[in-house]
Structures are given as C-alpha cells and as structure tokens.
C-alpha cells in the first residue's frame, strides 16, 4: 500500500497556524480572565468575612469587659460581708447578733455571676461558605486562636463555672435573708465562699480568654 502526504500550499499552512493561534490565545485569555475574576471574588469574600469577624470579636470584647465589671462590682461587697461575718463567728458572737449584722449588710449580698454569650456566628458563616480559606494565613491563625479561646470559655462557663455552686441552697439562703429570717452563720459563710471562689475564677478565665481575641483584633486593625 502506498501513502503520500498531501502537499499544502504555503499560504494555506499560514492560515491554519494563524487560525490555530487565535483559538489558543482565545482559550488562554478566557482562562486567565476566569482566574482573575475568581481571585477578585475570593479577595472580596475574604475581606467581607474578615470585617464581619473583626466586628464580632470587638463586640465580644466589650461584652466580656462589661461582664467582668459587673462581676467585680458584685464581688467586692461580697468579700467585705464575708470578712465581717467571718470575724463575728471567730469572735464567738451569738447567732442572733450575727444575723442582725447579716441583715444590715443584706443589701450588698448578691448571688449572681455574669458572662457574655460568646457569639461565633460570623466565624461559623465564614467556615460554612469557605471564606476562611481565602483569608491571609497569619490573620487566619489569629482568628483560629481567638475562636478556640471563645469556645473553651463558653464550655467552661457552661459547666465548670457553676460546679462549686449549690444553687438551690443559695436561693433558699437568699430568700431567708430577704425575708428577715435567721440563717446559720456558718452556712452563710459557706455559700459566700462558693460565690467568691466561682466569681474570681470566672473573672480570671474571662481575662485569659480575652488575650487571643485582643491579639486578633489588634493585628487586624493594622
């Protein structure tokens, strides 16, 4: 069998090459434009997600500070009352006299601990729509550390902050004090110590949780 390559005229080959190059260039241009559009979309999505996260973290810092301020405000008089009643007990004063002292100080006796809601909505949305994958790596690491701290603080306040608190006993004691009824001074001191210890731990934990959040917000603002 004999096969012979067909001969093409020079101008036909040139036209073919020109047509081929036009197709290749068109494809490369379309791919480049598509990649550029995708990069712009990713950059805008990352900027929007970062702005939302920064706003959420800033609001959370304000909420944490407000909770700390309230807890510290309630803690100070509680420590004063605890010391005063402890001194009465150590002096061996009669229960009736100690109860009179408790009622005098009852206005400052507040059994409550405050903490923020620890919202993570902006972060959750960014993770769900994958915007976090387009955020600059160092900033993303700071965000990750901040939200890890938030989740840990939320878990701690939900479970550990109240582990030492006997809530029914506290409510009963608070009710009797409010009604002007006598209470056991030692029981009173036990409850007040529970509140003091839990409040101090909660305040300290919120301060620790604030550090990575402050770091993330401070770096983002530069």
Q: What is the pLDDT of residue 5?
A: 39
| 221 C-beta neighbours (distance < 10 Å), count | 8
Contact 67, 206 (CB under 8 A): yes
- Whether the pLDDT of residue 191 is over 80: the answer is yes
- Tens of pLDDT, residues 163-172: 767 778 888 8
Tokens encoding 154: 């939320």
Instruction: Return the pLDDT at 134.
Output: 86
pLDDT of residue 22: 74
221 has a pLDDT exceeding 70? no
Q: What is the pLDDT of residues 16-71, one digit of tens each?
A: 666 666 776 667 666 665 665 666 566 887 889 899 999 999 999 999 999 999 98
Compute the distance between CA of residue 193 and CA of residue 83 in angstroms, rounded to an integer.
10
Nearest to 109 by CA among 122, 99, 120: 99
Express each pLDDT in 128-155 by its tens digit. Answer: 988 888 888 899 999 999 999 999 888 8
Asked if residue 141 lies in contact with residue 219, where contact means CB atoms within 8 angstroms, the answer is no
CA separation for the pair 211, 222 (Å, rounded): 17
Residue 84 has pLDDT above 80, yes or no: yes
Question: How does DSSP classify residue 9?
Answer: -
- State residue 66's pLDDT score: 93
**Mean pLDDT, to the nearest integer, of 104-130?**
83
């Amino acid at each position: 069998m004999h096969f012979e390559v067909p001969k093409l005229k020079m101008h036909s080959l040139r036209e073919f090459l020109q047509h081929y190059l036009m197709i290749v260039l068109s494809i490369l241009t379309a791919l480049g434009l598509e990649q550029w559009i995708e990069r712009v979309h990713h950059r805008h999505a990352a900027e929007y997600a970062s702005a939302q996260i920064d706003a959420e973290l800033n609001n959370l810092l304000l909420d944490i500070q407000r909770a700390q301020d309230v807890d510290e405000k309630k803690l100070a008089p509680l420590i004063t009352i605890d010391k005063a009643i402890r001194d009465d007990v150590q002096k061996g004063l009669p229960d009736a006299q100690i109860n009179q002292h408790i009622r005098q100080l009852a206005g400052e006796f507040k059994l409550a601990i405050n903490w923020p809601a620890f919202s993570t909505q902006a972060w959750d949305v960014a993770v769900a729509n994958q915007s976090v994958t387009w955020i600059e790596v160092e900033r993303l690491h700071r965000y990750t550390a901040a939200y890890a701290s938030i989740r840990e603080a939320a878990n701690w306040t939900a479970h550990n902050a109240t582990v030492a608190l006997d809530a029914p006993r506290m409510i009963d004691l608070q009710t009797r004090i409010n009604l002007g009824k006598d209470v056991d001074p030692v029981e009173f001191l036990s409850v007040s110590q529970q509140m003091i210890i839990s409040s101090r731990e909660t305040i300290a934990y919120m301060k620790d949780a604030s550090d990575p959040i402050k770091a993330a917000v401070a770096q983002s603002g530069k």
